[in-house]
Chains A and B, each alone.
Chain A
Amino acid sequence: MLEKTGVPDPEQVKDITPTEERLQKGPVVIVECFQNIPCDPCRHACRQGAIKEFEDINDLPEVDHELCNGCGLCISECPGLAIFVIDATYSEEEGLVKMPYEYLPLPEENEEVTGTDTEGRPVCSARVIKVQNTKTLDRTPVVTLAVPKQHLMKVRSFVRKGGE
């Protein structure tokens, strides 16, 4: 399916989703990398040792969610823009999704946007909490969205209301 359409299968996503118990402890990384390609910047970016050392540069990143503290340093380091951080503990109703976002103009903090899924379809209304665009991020800004908790594993991008 993924190879035909570019959309990851629910099964694949399930395999990389942290346990409910881990999600309740705070922010944690979601690495949506499903193909063995020669690439390993994520593991060099991780200072917690949560992304295990590769034996072969073609290995898939293997994440120990218990070691991950959700710092998000890996997000802008991933050339495939396949890394997200989710935080299910943000508030009673909402969780946070941190994502790479390489489009201009960048959204404003507190802006209402439409959260979209892996096919670009609208999922829910979302609020921009933070826009990081430091020199270290090297032109891959990281946007944090607040979304209803049930959509944490759904929302992977967004569109600005009233056009791009």
Chain B
Amino acid sequence: MTSLQKPEIAIVGGGPAGLSAALSAVRQGAEVMLIDRDPALGGQLVKQTHMFFGSRKEYAAIRGIDIPGKLVAALEEEGAEKFKPLLDTAVLGYYDDGVILAYKEEEQAMLIKPQKTIIATGAAEKMLPFPGNDLPGVYGAGAVQTLMNVYGIKPGTRVLMVGAGNIGLIVSYQLLQAGVEVAAIIEGAPKIGGYLVHATKVRRAGIPIKTSHTIKEAYGKDSVEGALICSLDENWCAIPGSDLDMKVDVICLAVGLTPQTELLWQAGCEQKYIPELGGYVPLRNEKMQTSLPDLYIAGDMACIEEAGSAMVEGKIAGLYAAADLGYDEKVEEHCHSYCRELEELRAGPTGAKIRQGLSRLNGGV
């Protein structure tokens, strides 16, 4: 065990939220240690080959894969001496005296006691129960993206995509770009959940989108050889006789995300189950501060949303974590602009679920 490290701020998770939090805190003048288990910064951005939506301030029309580089360059420009990334390092625990236990690949475990901690650990994919879901060839959408977009490996030759949210639609498009056939996208809900421009993009390429459809089972001897799908009625019950046999060698699950809040449970933060936000999420105030004053949150871990909002939340968390340490120049001004931006991003019909979830989290019904 190495000696206790004492950065001013530690950020757990180097995705869009964590990187933005780091930039915001470093700009205020604070010293930041950014811890990520992966060998490169960017979190899920490193797989996002498509252009982002949202506002120009949050890199709209820029490809996700290009955003980490821009944020890291900005961080280095602001003060490389204040920014310490710690890669290949998994955070294993958060103790109630505010000490973080981390383990760097092939090195020793280390103890870190920051004055403020920002948790931006993102989300985990949800699983769907059905017979055969343990066969090789059943993937989470994140794994398919990692294989294709990080390592250049095709997951198979013909895919059934389960879920027509943004992830299901985007990954289907990326499969097509990689030269993999997508047999269909099925969605249990009666409507497409993702942005309709993503849907029209894959439809234009000839991929059918079957709403009110679900997977009944995956079959195959040693790996997936096909799937049985069926139609659902308005009560989400299978319609007898609607079974369809699809010959596919990959079943890709894109059935939602849930916040990764384990560290916050360990820390003893108050959390509440809010389905609209993706599951259990920590209570937080407008500063993105949890029920424990030294602990802040941002991004998908705080609520499942777009990367654009995650980046703004990161800026807010970084700003206030720094301000609490006395780096409080122009805090009101920055906060006003960030909060407005967040409000604008959530203002439309696609933000309704988030607005409702946040209002329930804050005590509404």
* A residues lining the B interface (CB < 8 Å): 2-8, 32-41, 44-45, 56-58, 77-82, 102-104, 116-121, 138-140, 156-157, 164
Contact = CB atoms under 8 A, between A and B. Distances in A.
A120 B206 contact: yes
Contacts of B177: 102-104
A119 to B, nearest CB: 6
Given A37-B195, A78-B61, 13 more contacts: A4-B192, A4-B211, A6-B196, A35-B196, A35-B350, A37-B53, A38-B344, A56-B347, A56-B348, A57-B55, A57-B345, A58-B350, A117-B204
A128 B110 CA distance: 60
B197 interface: yes
Contacts of A82: 197, 200-201
Contact of A139 (B54, B63, B344): B63
Q: Is the interface of A mostly helix, strand, loop or mixed?
A: loop
Contacts of A44: 56
Interface of B: 50-56, 60-61, 63, 176-177, 179, 190-192, 195-207, 209, 211, 306, 308, 344-351
B211 A5 contact: yes
Given A5-B203, A6-B202, A103-B176, A38 B54 contact: yes
Contact of B60 (A32, A34, A41, A104): A41
Contacts of B198: 80
B192 A6 contact: yes
Contacts of B50: 79
A6 to B, nearest CB: 3
Contact of A80 (B55, B201, B203): B201
Which 3 pairs, one residue from A and one from B, show the smallest C-beta to C-beta distance? Answer: A120-B206, A80-B197, A58-B348
A81 B348 contact: no
A37 B348 contact: yes
Nearest to A3: B191
Contacts of A139: 63
A37 B350 contact: yes
B60 A120 contact: no
Contact of B344 (A33, A45, A56, A140): A56
Contact of A156 (B63, B195, B204, B207): B204
B349 A40 contact: no
Contacts of A41: 56, 60-61
A33 B173 CA distance: 18
Contacts of B199: 2, 6
Contacts of A77: 61
A81 B201 CA distance: 7
Given A4-B190, A102-B177, A38 B196 contact: no
A164 to B, nearest CB: 7
B19 to A, nearest CB: 20
Nearest to A157: B204
A119 B196 contact: no
Contacts of A118: 200, 203-204
